[in-house]
Structure 1
Amino acid sequence: MQPLVSIITPMYNSEKFILKTINSVVNQTYSNWELLLIDDGSTDNTIKIVEDFKQKYSNITLLQNPTNLGAAQSRNKGILEAKGDYIAFLDADDLWKPNKLDLQIQFMQTHNCDVSFSSYEQIDENGKPLNKLVQAIPKLTYNKYLKTNYIGNLTGMYNAKTLGKITSPDLRKRQDWLLWLAAIKKSSKPALGIQESLAYYRVRQNSISSNKIELLKYNYLVYKKGLGFSTIKSLYRMFIFLWEHFMVKSKLIVPTEKK
């Protein structure tokens, strides 16, 4: 029997994208999954769209926060409710390719790894290709991952049977980096990267990810608040981060053929 995969998707005013995101799960070639959608106080039609899917699919669950709590607490709520052998993440504006779960589960079982991730492609707000591929590095140790965030959260998956449920600290941004750091640290093995592109990451104009200065602040908080490093050590790690990010990681973003 196929292992159960729990998919965690936090949502906030996601009516523009959530239908296609859910469809990218529903259309998976892998059938044994559950989708936990956590609404974080949406005021648009997000919940109505999800309710329509719930009527058709018994393996789709809607959880609702009493107030807006942020992505970290929303993801953690889903993780704690998850029943799966594996836990995966998909944000409310991103998309999976149809064979994503099939290939990733096969890969993890074949290589006996606890944490895996994959390459992915970038699209714009309207879903048009930006003709950029973010390549996954084949092997990722804790020390290497401490230098910069190499895992696209929409591609990450961990084995909850071997590692237990791993949640993320309550940071507004980059909490996924800390979650994967904790998962790799808990495992006795490095995370493994699938070279094939299995997902589409939506680049949005007004997101925190597009604000480089704001993002640097959250990267610093990963070291200072998330990992409890001293101010001096956090600043030192930031120098390493900047070198790794611009001199190494940036080379993993390569052009693809125009479609």
Structure 2
Amino acid sequence: MNKIQVLLSSYNGERYITEQLNSLSSQTQANWTIRLRDDGSSDRTWPIIEAWQAKFADRMFSEKALNVGVIPSFFELIGQADEESDYFCFCDQDDVWLPEKMERAIDRLSEVEKDVPAMVFTSTQLVDADLNPLGIWPEKPLKAPSFYNALVQNIAVGATVTFNRSALQLVRSHMPDTNRVLMHDWWFYLCVSAFGEVLYDPEPSILYRQHGNNAVGGETSKLGKLKKKWASFRKHRGSHKLVEQAREFHRLYASELHDKDKLQQLEWFIAPRDRFRQRLNYLRRSKLYRQSRIENLLFRFLILIKYI
């Protein structure tokens, strides 16, 4: 039977983590384990974890560690993951998984040859703090998941992502500088889309709780979506973080990226564009895209004004 391991990073999650752990134990996929790293919680999260582990001692491996932040914490889990497992799931502490989440993900990934890095992600059922439904998010991608999208946009909600052992090995073979990674799920989307297959399932697999303290949250209203997309661009400005993440990928994987078109698009994206003419020439050649026409127009405009 296929074995699946859940990678869960917790931090001050005493209010919701019991519901999440209960939803993991209620999965229709029976052969699961949990690798949990507590990122230095100062509330009652750790005692809750200890009590839960006493109940599921043969299935759970947990560690109370120093606070390093969400991205390094998940990469610690990636490094610790059990390679005897066939599949792996990212998990947040404050959601609720629908009962068939693991089973559905394994069914989809089993369509891919085992030696091909592969991941599947789904939409979510947005809910409020009390699990009242708010809508489905995100909507089905308008364009196919691909490396050309992953360089400039993440469409894979991390808490819905499941990946195979080959994808784990791909990422573990060249662990990145986490200061140059925008998010662990985005890094997987980038790596797997470069070398393997990215699958999408439109049926929600989790109740994605929105409570004001989400590291990343969803949005269903048109105005809210626009604000969120603009905030995303502003967040990624800094030291040109989109390009910085792409440069880190190039540093680690360029010598293994044998698809000449992908490599060329990557190198054009990370090349300096100090002059306006250089930026115009880049946009004429670029195949990179975001998921909507408005987002693409905004992306091209921000390239032209050297925002990205």
TM-score (norm 2): 0.69
Offset at residue 161 of structure 1 (A): 3.6
Amino-acid identity (%):
23
CA contact 1:11–1:37 (8 Å) conserved in 2: yes
Shift, 1:41, TM fit: 0.6
Q: 1:9 Cα shift?
A: 0.9
Query: Does 1:135 pair with 2:139?
Result: yes
Match of 1:226 among 245, 257, 260: 245
Alignment of 1:216-255 (within 5 A): 216-220=233-237, 222-228=241-247, 229=270, 232=273, 244=291, 247=294
Aligned residue type for 1:174: M
Matched residues in 1 for 2:171 and 2:290: separation?
Answer: 29
Contact 2:136 2:204 (8 Å CA) reproduced: no
Are positions 1:195 and 2:208 aligned together? no
Q: Distance in 2 between matches of 1:165 and 1:87?
A: 13
Give the conservation status (yes or no) of the 8 Å contact 1:5–1:33. yes
> Is this contact kept in 2: 1:136–1:151, CA < 8 A?
no
Q: How far does residue 110 in structure 1 lie from its aligned partner after superposition?
A: 3.0
Secondary structure of the corresponding residue to residue 192 of structure 1 = strand
- Residue pair 1:9, 1:37 contacting (<8 A) in 2 also: yes
As a proportion of its length, which structure holds more strand?
1
1:209 corresponds to which letter in structure 2? V
Distance in 1 separating the partners of 2:107 and 2:289: 35
- TM-score, normalised relative to structure 1: 0.80
Residue 49 of structure 2 is aligned to residue 41 of structure 1 = no
How far apart in 2 are the matches of 1:222 and 1:184?
19
Structure-2 change in CA distance of 1:122 and 1:141 (3 Å)? same
The 8 Å contact of residues 8 and 75 in structure 1, kept in 2 or not, is answered as: yes
1:187-206 CA-to-partner distances (Å, cap 9, x unmatched) read 2xx31111221112122324
| 1:132 counterpart letter in structure 2 | I
Asked if 1:176 corresponds to 2:176, the answer is: no
The residue type equivalent to 1:195 in the other structure is P
Unmatched 5+ stretches in structure 2: 218-226, 248-269, 297-308
Task: Tell me if 1:32 matches 2:31.
Answer: yes
C-alpha contact 1:155 1:199 (8 A) present in aligned 2: yes
Tell which has more relative contact order, 1 or 2 (C-alpha 8 A, sep 6+): 1
Aligned to 1:107: 108
RMSD, aligned CA = 3.1
Q: Structure 1 unaligned runs (5+)?
A: 250-259
Report the Cα distance in structure 1 between the residues aligned to 2:193 and 2:37, rounded to whole angstroms: 25
1: CA distance between counterparts of 2:167 and 2:155?
Answer: 22
